[in-house]
Amino acid sequence: MPRRTPTFSISIEWENARFAELERTRRMLRELRRQLLALPPPARPPQINFLFDRRTIDSAMVESVIAAEFQPETVPAGTRIIPNEGLRYYEQKTFGARLYDGELTLFLDSDVVPEPGWLEAMLESFETADVGVVAGATYIECESFYSKAFALFWFFGLRDPAANLERATFFHANNCAFRSEVFLAHPFPDLPIYRGQCSVLCHRLEESGISIYLQKKARVAHPVPQTAWYFLARAMNNGRDEVLVQDLVARRNRPPLRTVFWNFRAGMLKSFRKIRGHARDVQLTPVAAVAAYAVALAYFGLKAMGELITHLRPNLVARLFPV
């Protein structure tokens, strides 16, 4: 008996396309279109939502790229292009998810490229009744020294060839899926932070007894920061999130100032182990491995600076480095 395809929506924000090459978004659209065409049709056509802030993204550009690469008229799905004003990354995702009442709610980013089989793997993960939230496997494309260095120390790492579904404690919003009733009950929290909402939501899901699973077959390739400014802003805001998320999750006063040092030390030790253990896997010479460690040092040094500033002036990093 053929497998039944559940009804679902996919919400895709266009915000991250500002910080990556537009060709990545084009690749994402072409691959998503192929996978939708290959999928056995569900009882009701899926809904694909593209969301963006019209104040920072040109509507005509979004429409032309989607028309050329996604070709909505040929895809067996409803397609909505939804400009808005002032909605941030997580707010756009939540807004898009509430526009369709299917069984599953999927999220994908505009700068990640799904591998073949991503959509099918995501959907099949929910065949087990106790699966409420699924994280896909997001990794760094190792195309240069710079990207290889990031893959050896950043929170998006090397591609894992495994293909199993297993329990997890975390997901990234760029590649995840929910049973719709779970997401409506536990949406992304509206918080004045950069990317820490996932950490807070994971904690709340755990408190509610909702399991998170990692589907290793559902892989997407993520880019590295493309400019020096974005490298700086990403690291500094990562540090700000570190402080503010601890406030929210621990429900106590701000973590002591000494945690800045311990977080920096932990990040560098983990980087050293990963670079030493996997440099050869990505064809880095010993000299290049040392240089990769220097990139990690720069990132975690800036992150520590973001933490320190946030202890003293909680909103200064967000004002100086808006992303």
Residues of the chain within CATH 3.90.550.10 domain(s) are: 8-222
Question: How confident is the prediction along the chain (323 residues), in pLDDT tens digits per residue?
Answer: 357 899 999 999 998 888 888 999 999 999 999 999 999 988 899 999 999 999 999 999 999 999 999 999 999 999 999 999 989 999 999 999 999 999 999 999 999 999 999 999 999 999 988 899 999 999 999 999 999 999 999 999 999 999 999 999 999 999 999 999 999 999 999 998 998 899 999 999 999 999 999 999 999 999 999 999 999 999 999 999 999 998 777 655 666 788 999 999 999 999 999 999 999 999 999 999 999 999 999 999 999 999 999 999 999 999 999 98
Q: What are all long-range contacts of 66-70, with beta carbons under 8 Å and residues at least 24 apart?
A: 66/29, 68/26, 69/25, 69/26, 69/29, 69/30, 69/33, 70/29, 70/30, 70/32, 70/33
Strand partners, 129: none
> Residue 3 burial by CB count (10 A; 0-12/13-18/19+): exposed, middle or buried?
exposed
- The amino acid sitting at 46 is P
* Token pair recorded at residue 274: 């990963």
Count Cα neighbours of 4 within 13 Å in the Cβ-side half-sphere.
7
pLDDT 10s digits, 273-297? 999 999 999 999 999 999 999 999 9
Q: Answer yes or no: are the C-beta atoms of 16 and 172 closer than 8 Å.
A: no
Q: Where does 98-179 have alpha helices with state H?
A: 118-124, 145-151
Superfamily per CATH, domain 8-222 = Spore Coat Polysaccharide Biosynthesis Protein SpsA; Chain A (3.90.550.10)
What is the C-alpha end-to-end distance of the chain, expressed in Å? 48
pLDDT 10s digits, 40-99? 988 899 999 999 999 999 999 999 999 999 999 999 999 999 999 989 999 999 999 999
